[in-house]
Amino acid sequence: MASIARVEVRMAPGFHQNLEEAVFPVIVNVAKEVEQDIKRNAPVDSGDLVRSVTRRDNVITISAPYWHFVEYGTRPHIIRPRRRQALWWEGAHHPVRLVQHPGTQAQPFIRPAALRQRRLRGITVAVGG
């Protein structure tokens, strides 16, 4: 009769914790590079968008409330006044009831930074809002 040898491989207790401790500095360095790419690629008008990019360990936050309009662009849309009867801004000849905005073209700066690291290192970088 044939005998069967059986070998079972198990992870030592605490292995995941040790692995995460060993890998975390690498992840933080990748996050630093993604942050730098985001800041380098972000379009600059007033500089608020770039200044709103912050990083803590491996989490990058972009706090400018309009980041998604820049990243994804906007469709043509109508702008109406919310609190007054008309819209007016400095340089306008007269108040108007509405403005037909032509939309804005997307200027991606977050996704390319994340995808660059993915191509370079094979690391998954999650992008969410």
Residue 67 counted as domain residue: yes
Residue 56 counted as domain residue: yes
Is the pTM of the predicted complex or chain greater than 0.85? no
Residue 128 counted as domain residue: no
Residue 30 counted as domain residue: yes
Residue 117 counted as domain residue: yes
Residues 6+ apart with CB under 8 A from 59: 31
Q: Which residue has the tokens 């340089």?
A: 91
Coil, helix or strand at residue 103: coil
Which residue, 31, 33, 103, is CA-closest to 70? 103
Q: What is the pLDDT of residues 51-60, one digit of tens each?
A: 999 988 888 8
Which residue, 15, 60, 12, 8, is CA-closest to 39? 60
The full length of the chain comes to 129
Q: What is the pLDDT of residues 109-124, one digit of tens each?
A: 988 988 887 666 655 5
Q: Are 71 and 108 in contact (CB under 8 A)?
A: yes
Residue 113 counted as domain residue: yes
State the Cα–Cα distance between residues 95 and 89, nearest whole angstrom: 8
Residue 91 counted as domain residue: no
Percent of the chain with pLDDT over 70: 81
Q: What is the pLDDT of residues 71-112, one digit of tens each?
A: 999 999 999 999 889 998 899 899 999 999 999 999 999 889
State the Cα–Cα distance between residues 109 and 35, nearest whole angstrom: 10
pLDDT at 7: 47
Structural domain boundaries, residue 39: 18-75+104-121
Domains contained in the chain, number: 1
Coil, helix or strand at residue 41: helix
